[in-house]
Structure formats: structure tokens, C-alpha cells
Amino acid sequence: MQTSGNSGTLSKYLFIFTHEVGDIEFYPTYSRLVKSQWKPYEELKAEQEKQLRNIIYYSYYNIPYYHRLFDSLGLKPESIRTIEDLQKLPILTKSVIRENWEDFKPLHLNRMKYQEETTGGSTGTPFKYRITSHDRFLSGAILYRGWGYGGYQLGDKTIFLAGTSLGVGPKPYLVKRFHEIARNLRKFSSFDMDDKGMRQFVSVMNTFKPKFLRGYASSIYFFARWLEENDLKVHQPMSVFTTSEKLYPQMREKISKVFGCDVYDGYGLNDDGVTAFECSEHRGMHIYTERSIAEVVDEDGNQLDHGEGRIVGTSLHNYAMPFLRYDTGDIGNLLEEECPCGRGYKLLKEICGRSGDILITPEGKAINSLFFATIFDEIMSVREYQIVQEKLDRIVVRISTGRDFDQKQLQDIVRLIKARSQGWNIEFDIVDRIEKTRAGKYKYVINKVMSEQSHGKLSAFPSS
């Protein structure tokens, strides 16, 4: 027992030391964040707005694009002092950033410690951005605090099952091993989820004995289903952390049942810093205030106090590339009530999906991807599925099936989908497996109709 305690202490010290090599303020920042989560919302908001004024002032005088934008709108830095004042600015889109890339460079970028990153590219072409070293380690401190809701402490054994957006991918062996040892973790790729890969993952789970399992919601869900279908047992973690994809109720239930523990969902974007984590109350995800401002807005860009809308984010510490009212492409449902856990943050009931996860019927009805989840999660002979809306009146149902899939089940799928829209022409594509995105994520729904059109008023702002 004493040996185990010493091992845990050494892992924690090595974990902290490794992070502080990159940012000496890492552990003090983490400790401060652990305490700040209990502040009332009014105090958290006041701290947010203080940092907002700093980043606005900096952006106006150091980022050519923002200087030009503010002048065109007749605004000065002092025009934006509160979160509500952000509504004076238009929504920032990826296309605007790409078209004005050079003008998003700070005047003194060469003096900064930063690196270039790319998003996972789940919606198409990966998106390039810059992030300062300080903001990157702040992101890590916030992440570890969020895992703490499920019992995590710095240096605890953790296994990842994910893709490139979570840092899982091909790296030189020595780099990978150093990273794994220093952070006390193991990483497995969501691209290697064939039978051989799954069995190797089981072996490592049972020998490494992680306290926590983290990864893409779909990857962990598929692993849980595979374990159940093959009647295999693995080491039981304390908690499972899902992220990067929508976690459907059926997925949560299956993961919790197979691994015998609670599932904690999370939402995070490194480009604009918006982050939210679910606590043990499971009433929604706490929207963190220390690194960014998250707004939920209607189609005109107006902030909502509650309800469903587009999530836009403003980064507060990334001086290498500040994002002001950045369109995440995600749709979230903001709650009015507070969480009984006592934390002061506002709550996201759920991430409803990306704008492309909503299908539009010829009758003009919006169909959420959850509708299809309720159909296919009841048909055990369908291993994987993907719905592609090719045209307004045409959808392709791509499925990977087991041996017991039959014509009656095919007819049942058609009947259930037709109940939502008689106008849809349904085609089936039976495949061996569903292709993942470049980041190793799994897209349940692809709306090609919406991707070919603008997303309404939010993305209609001029690029210069």
C-alpha cells in the first residue's frame, strides 16, 4: 500500500515538472483554477470582463484586421467593456480568417512564444490558427480541473482512445514514450479499431490498469459494444470522459453499463478556448469563464439567456491570434437554472450538434441527428451507420451490418424515416465499414445541402 502511494506521488511530481518546463506558472494556475470554480457567477463574470477589455484594447492596436473592422463600425476599444457589448461586433467565421490571414498577425508576433495548430478538420479542410504557449498550458490546467469532476488528480493513470484532435497520431517512438511516461498515460488511435486493435487495447487496459478512460464519444461507444458482443471484461476505470463528438443518451447508457462507472461529457475548442465540463450532478456542462467567453446566439447574432442557438466564442488570453465572437459551428442549449453542485458557471444542457448535423426535409422541418440515433441503436445488427443528405429530397443511409440483418429491418428503417418526411427519397449503401474523418472522428450525419449554402445571417458578414 505504501508503494502504491509513493508511486502516485512520484507520478504527480513528474507530471507537474514536465508541464512547468513548458510554463513555470502551470501548477500555480491549476491551483488557482481549482479554487475559482466555487466563486459566484457575478464575480467570475467581472473577471471575464476585465480580461475582455484587455484583449479588445490589444486587438484594436495590434491586429490590423480588428483595427480596420472597429473603424468601419465606428467603434473604439472603450466601446466594448462588457459581455453584452460584444453584440456590437459581427460574427467571425473561418472563411473571414482565411481570407484575411495576414491581417490577423499581431504587429509583434516575432516576439511571442507561440505555435501553429490545426483543428481536427471534422467539417472538411483542417483550420489553421496560432496559440501562445501560456494559453496552451492554461488550456491544460482547465482540462485537468474538468477531469477532477470525475475524481481525477494530476498524474493519475489515463488511457486515450481518440484521433489527432486529442493528440493521438503517428509520432517518433521516443517522443511518444516520453510523453506517455511523463503524463502517466497511454494513447490508442481511433483508426485502429479492428478486431486486432481492440484486443490489443483490452490487453493494455488490463495491464496498465488506468483510473480513467478518455476519448471520442463514438470510439469509446464502439469499444463498449465490441466488448459486450465478444463477452470480454476489462479493468474498470473510476470514470470515463467523452469529448469531441455528441454523446447520445444510448451511448452514455451503454458505456456506463459496460465499464461500470459514470460517464462525464465535455466540450472544448482550443482555437477560441470555449470549454465546458459535466460534474457529478449530470445536469449539464459548466461553461468555464477563465479562458474565454461563450455566447449562445440566435440567427441574428443576439445573445440568448437560455434556449438553443449557435455557440460563438471569444478568446481571452491568446494574444498570438485573438478570436472575437468566433463562430464555432456548434449548436448548444443554454439552461436558466444553476447547478446544485454549487459552482457558479452557467450550464449547457447539451451540445445539440454541429450545424451540419441537422437535416432539412423537403417540407422545411429540421431533423436532429438524435432522431436517427434512436432508430439505429435499437437495431443490434447494424454495427455502424451514417446518414448523408445529398439533396433536399434525397438521403443516403450508409450502414455496416451483421449477418442477421434482413429485408424486414430495412423496411422498418424506411418506415421510421418516412414517418418524419414523406418527401425524402431514401437510398441504402451497405458497406463493410464507415470511413472516419481525417481526425479519426465518426460523423453520424452529413448534410451536404447546408454545407453548400450559407448558414444564414451568421455567416453572411463581409470578409473585409
Domain identity same for 182 and 323: yes
Domain identity same for 332 and 362: no
Contacts of the segment 100-103: beta carbons below 8 A, 24+ positions apart: 100/65, 100/463, 100/464, 103/63, 103/64, 103/65, 103/68
pLDDT tens per residue, range 186-242: 988 877 778 888 899 999 999 999 999 999 888 898 899 899 989 999 999 999 999
Domain identity same for 307 and 433: no
- Please tell me which residue, 13 or 458, carries the higher pLDDT value: 13
Are 58 and 107 in contact by the 8 Å Cβ rule? The answer is no
Average pLDDT estimate for 350-366:
74
Say how many CA atoms lie within 13 Å of 184 toward its Cβ. Answer: 23
Domain identity same for 440 and 295: no
Domain identity same for 132 and 246: yes
User: Cα 133–138–140 angle (5° rounding)?
Assistant: 100
Beta-sheet pairing, 262-268 with 366-367 = unpaired
pLDDT at 97 over 60: yes
Domain identity same for 103 and 144: yes
User: Cα 348–247–251 angle (5° rounding)?
Assistant: 140
Residues 266 and 210: their CA atoms lie apart, in Å, by 19
pLDDT at 27 over 90: yes
Are 314 and 336 in contact by the 8 Å Cβ rule? The answer is no
**Order of strands across the sheet that contains 394-401:** 425-430, 394-401, 382-391, 445-447
Domain identity same for 237 and 178: yes
Residues 376 and 399: their CA atoms lie apart, in Å, by 10
Domain identity same for 191 and 314: yes
Domain boundary residue, one of 352, 386, 415? 352
Number of domains in the chain: 2
Answer whether residue 405 is part of any domain: yes
Are 428 and 154 in contact by the 8 Å Cβ rule? The answer is no
Residue type, 141: A
**Domain CATH for 363:** 3.30.300
Are 435 and 375 in contact by the 8 Å Cβ rule? The answer is no
Nearest to 445 by CA among 246, 196, 154: 246
Sign of CA dihedral 67, 462, 361, 306: positive
pLDDT band at 165 (very low <50, low <70, confident <90, very high): low
**Domain CATH for 35:** 3.40.50.12780
Chain mean pLDDT for the chain: 87
Domain identity same for 426 and 333: no
Answer whether residue 377 is part of any domain: yes
Are 459 and 430 in contact by the 8 Å Cβ rule? The answer is no
Residue where the block lists cell 517512438: 173
Are 404 and 381 in contact by the 8 Å Cβ rule? The answer is yes
Answer whether residue 39 is part of any domain: yes
Answer whether residue 461 is part of any domain: no
Domain boundary residue, one of 291, 322, 352? 352
Answer whether residue 459 is part of any domain: no
Range of the domain at 426: 358-454
Give the pTM.
0.81
Residues 460 and 95: their CA atoms lie apart, in Å, by 10
Question: How far are the Cα atoms of 126, 261, 408 from residue 99, in angstroms, in the given order?
Answer: 15, 46, 51
For the ranges 73-77, 98-102, 172-176, 446-450, the one whose mean pLDDT is highest: 73-77
Domain boundary residue, one of 352, 375, 391? 352
Answer whether residue 463 is part of any domain: no
pLDDT band at 35 (very low <50, low <70, confident <90, very high): very high
Residue type, 74: G
Average pLDDT estimate for 376-399:
85
Answer whether residue 346 is part of any domain: yes
pLDDT tens per residue, range 258-314: 999 999 999 998 888 999 999 999 999 999 999 999 999 998 999 999 999 999 999
Answer whether residue 50 is part of any domain: yes
pLDDT tens per residue, range 139-156: 999 999 999 999 999 999
Domain identity same for 255 and 400: no
* pLDDT value at residue 170: 60
Residues 277 and 268: their CA atoms lie apart, in Å, by 8
Domain identity same for 370 and 224: no
Domain identity same for 301 and 386: no
